[in-house]
Structure 1
Amino acid sequence: MIDKARACGFDAAGITRPDATPETSERLARFIADGAHGDMDWLATTAGRRASPLALWPEARSVIMLGLNYGPDENPLAILAQRSKAAISVYAKGDDYHELIKKKLKEIARWLVATAGGDVKVFVDTAAVMEKPLAASAGLGWQGKHTNLVSRQYGSWLFLGSIFTTLDLPADAPVDDSCGSCRACLDICPTAAFPAPYRLDARRCISYLTIEHKGPIPREFRGAIGNRIYGCDDCLAVCPWNKFAQAGREAKLTARDSLRAPDLAELSGLDDARFRTLFAKSPVKRTGRDRFIRNVLIAIGNSGDSALAQEATRLLDDASPLVRGAAVWALSRLLPRAEFEKLRRDDGDATVNEEWAAAFG
């Protein structure tokens, strides 16, 4: 299996039983009961199917977990010091991994059926599968204190996919949790999104706030976001196990030059058509232009670069109230009080007017 997986471009593979992670149901239930899933209502509505692979497919007898290394070729934290540039999460700088991995999973699944028979189903990320606990059970790594998978060979940089099969395959042994007393991932989080080791409150997570959250970003987190406009790699990048990691070998996942350190000024000028063109085949496209520009404006407000005030001023007239509200906040951070006061207006949207009121409060 591992030879076939590597031939298809995967870097890690393991097999587990569909009933090997009984603790997943309780942990997911607690996460949802605490409201830690925020706007992600789909997590609550699919909780029953996520509780166990057998709830998703009762005929499954084995789960093959596969990992594809997407390790970066540069330090993801370095760009955070370039405040007029945009920081985009490592996984989103290349092509969207979903279709790439699904194609590879299907190739392995066809080979498995031709070789050994049985029925198969393939899943990657968007399905109701709790991939990280299954990957840990299959021996690909362990779930670290940041709740993400950590591998001794690839650090924090593995995309995961799964193949469910009716074949009864020998399971691999899980590996031990090797986080020890380390708290690096917990301590670096700018928004304190980890209430305890191995627990995440998505409502405080920058990845959630910049990707999943649909409304204005809560004011209490805006300053901490810095120049992160799509996702956050801090807890992944700081993990000591990354010292053994290596750059990914899949060319389609390599960072595009245009997304390594784009200028906030250039990104702020994107209309919907240009946004779709720039992020064609990219996971960034799923946020939509308005949410993306909201994020860019938060970064502009954090930049300390008064020259960017002209970009935010222009966006006070944007068609989207989400964008206009973020522009108000950015300008309140960049302009002297007297100049900012001259821009004040009565907006047709109550939420934008709240931003004006808060800025002068």
Structure 2
Amino acid sequence: MKFVDEAYIDIAAGDGGNGCVSFRHEKYKEFGGPNGGDGGRGGHVFAVADPNLNTLVDFRYARRHEAKRGEHGMGSDMFGSAGSDITLKMPVGTILSDAETGEVLFELLVPGEVVTIAKGGDGGFGNMRFKSAINRAPRQKTPGWPGEKRNLKLELKVLADVGLLGMPNAGKSTFIAAVSNARPKIADYPFTTLHPNLGVVRVGPEQSFVVADIPGLIEGASEGAGLGHQFLRHLQRTRLLLHVVDMAPFDDAVDPVAQAKAIVGELKKYDSALFKKPRWLVLNKLDMVPSDERRARVDDFVKRFKWKGPVFEISALTREGCESLIHAIYAHVKAQQVAEQAPVEERDPRFPEGADGAIH
């Protein structure tokens, strides 16, 4: 299956133009000498990180991208002009890797960042380059060098601060629609989101964070079952995971604790580093639980799930509990941002890390 966050493209930089063999022919100058110019270089292929894009869908329909070749050299000491460069706009967070070897070549992480993904070939030399005292009428020239050609795999990892994790129909889409500007599909029947949705949550003036609604997982996702394994990669760059649990499933035979444990198991199988990320428990759809049963049901879930981390009780549909949750998320994200920007303590290279060699 192909998704808009993954694409394969073929790129080719322009070949260099050939050098020219030419001699000056002017009246009263019988032996004017060589005047063949060099060929022009081929066009380069660049990639630029465009913050206005959020999918790779355009590259699924335009797979071949070629820069122009350089013009050939000409007589009268005229060099060929360089081939036109082309620039491919890609979303911020795109990873470019070799389609055959899987080697990661570039990562576009900063808006406006430009990388050269294929260099154009140099132009060939004209015969004027080979003129010397003993070779006054050279007839040598060289062809232009070929431009680089590559088959690339493009992969987009969503750059979000917070990722929503949970089974299909846990209420993740309803939550992101309630707290952000995203408008994913929401319906009154069970279904799963088919592609990630990003939303910006505004906490206050110049206070915001990005949340990603990831397609629901099912048991066996890490081995390829369902859609979730295609999108677990989107959680790898988040600072916080929200594990959303449906506390009022349609089927009374469904145990929310068993579902939650299955999700945690898939997370651990897929990536141990992802499993160790900060994770909060969000118990959703409590508006559908009778008020006199709510406390007992929540306590029973936390006890059987053996959860010791933060727990938030919400209803994404009525926004109950959402306000306090987003303020807590913002405080956590902000604290992590400050920690990431803190200068690393300088250490004396003669001492191993942790020894008494720190420079204060």
Q: TM-score, normalised by structure 1?
A: 0.25
Larger helix proportion of the pair: 1
The higher radius of gyration belongs to 2
